[in-house]
Chains A and B, each alone.
Chain A
């Protein structure tokens, strides 16, 4: 069986986008949790 991976190189860009996505995801997550913490602090 031969998997059709000869053109997998065309999708190499995904490996370059991943670090950006990880950083953006972390920023969104951190921002949301910080805002939630600030709201709770204000409520208390």
Chain B
């Protein structure tokens, strides 16, 4: 009799009714079925026009009027100030300091959710935009004219935002990687980084103008703004309105560098998920080589992680570009550049899906901390109890491991089906013959299946 020692060979963190890899197969089948359903039932473009309809003027004034903008901006400035103060003067324990959780979890993960549901809410709360507008308004009153700015270099586009996005995630997951806690970055470094970034942003706003910099260079405005394109709510000419969900995304990527922003957002989430799982052995191997070459431990770890992060960005970009290159083989295809830009928005739902899948459980757990002990004792020094919740803890049983897994799988599947739908819709613009359009999307189907399986693999290895 042959004894197979498989007891610990194929374990996953979840006690699932079927193996985790079968979910990847099931998700792939869902995508393939969706693809064929789209090719049969979706024969004219539907997302190119937003079908924007204004909401009531009173509601618009209440939610996005000058008083609301001033109030939300002041809240944003106040909270940024609190985060910087806590970072610089609070405890050095990241999980007890308000700054780290507030900046890297509440804002970084909370704004994407609200952006997709409600529209570009960060525009209201952005502390830098609020300061920039207040200073600009003050200048106009004193000088009697609007401040003059440099012309923003068109070719630079959204590249500063793409690089800044990678830098922000690098700071969190590479520079701050210390293991054991959700975000290992020291609160002091978080505070200093927030100060430096604020100074940089305000200088850029002075040079190029507040709205111009927010549209193209300011990392968080660009990133949250990108995700808000999926929302059924948007602002036009100062008026709040409803529109077809995801339709605004179709014109988002026309500014240079937009493709890099959306690829950077997928790559950074992927790397964060893979760092402790799929890439762990590779990072360790590279780390040992650097140590053997005489580099210090921290430098070796950061260097090896940085290389893997860059490779992840390159890998995600390569998969997308292969999909685009595949479309070029279909008769009547526009130029490669047109396709590369024209289909970039189809990755936005995937970027959001990756974010939900990878950080859903972290968000649920850490927000308990944010709204209990971190709010009551923001410095983490056990000297204050502002709301009487300083001694509260995080309830890790609030959601089960299986629930987390199902949310992750659902997010990935829905995100990729949405991406596939946007891609099919755009293909109908470039190839009015729906058969040709469908043919062009074979390769995007492969891209979506690849991203889905990759995402599920990362989750199955690290458990999210």
A residues adjacent to B (C-beta < 8 A):
1-3, 5-9, 12-13, 15-20, 23-24, 27, 30-31, 34
Contacts and interface: CB of A to CB of B under 8 A. Distances in A.
A13 B5 contact: no
5 closest Cβ pairs, A-B complex: A19-B28, A15-B21, A16-B457, A27-B442, A16-B453
B9 A8 contact: yes
Q: Is the interface of A mostly helix, strand, loop or mixed?
A: helix
A15 B24 CA distance: 9
B151 interface: no
A5 B5 contact: yes
B453 A17 contact: yes
Given A15-B21, A30-B442, A20 B6 contact: no
Contacts of A20: 28, 446, 449-450, 453
Nearest to A13: B457
Nearest to A22: B28
A18 B278 CA distance: 17
B400 interface: no
B9 A16 contact: no
Q: Is the interface of B mostly helix, strand, loop or mixed?
A: helix
Nearest to A4: B5
Q: State which size class the interface on B falls in.
A: 20 to 34
Give the residue among B10, B24, B28, B446 with the most A Cβ atoms within 10 A: B446
A31 B329 contact: yes
Contacts of B460: 12, 16
Contacts of B449: 19-20, 23
Contacts of A24: 446
Given A16-B457, A34-B439, A9 B9 contact: yes
A42 to B, nearest CB: 12
Given A2-B3, A3-B2, A6-B9, A16 B21 contact: yes
B155 interface: no
B78 interface: no
A6 B5 CA distance: 6
A12 B329 CA distance: 33
Give the residue among A5, A18, A23, A31 with the most B Cβ atoms within 10 A: A23
B445 A16 contact: no
B454 interface: yes
